[in-house]
Amino acid sequence: MFEMKRLVYAAIWLALFSTAGCGLDNYDEPSSRLTGKIVYQGQTLGLSHGKVVFNLYQEGYDKNGPISVYAAQDGTFSALLFDGSYRLETVDNNGPWLNSASAATFEMKGNTSVDVMVTPYYLLSDVAIALNGHEIKAVCSVEMIAGEKEAQRLFLCVGPSAFVSDQSYSYVARKNLMPVNMGGNALSMDISEQLEMYDTLYARLGLQINGVQECIYSDVIKIK
| pLDDT the model gives residue 1 | 46
pLDDT tens track for 128-186: 999 999 999 999 999 999 988 999 999 999 999 999 999 888 999 999 999 999 999 99
Domain 32-117: CATH architecture, name and number where available: Sandwich (2.60)
Residues in the chain, pLDDT under 50: 1-24
How far, rounded to the nearest angstrom, does the alpha carbon of residue 57 sit from its chain's CA centroid? 18
pTM: 0.82
Q: What is the CA radius of gyration of the chain?
A: 25
| pLDDT the model gives residue 103 | 75
Domain 32-117 matches domain 122-222 at the CATH topology level: yes
| pLDDT the model gives residue 5 | 40
| pLDDT the model gives residue 6 | 44
Q: What is the domain partition of the chain in residue ranges? A: 32-117, 122-222
Domain 122-222: CATH architecture, name and number where available: Sandwich (2.60)
The burial class, CB within 10 Å (0-12 / 13-18 / 19+), for 184 is: exposed
| pLDDT the model gives residue 148 | 83
Start-end of H helices in the chain: 2-25, 192-197
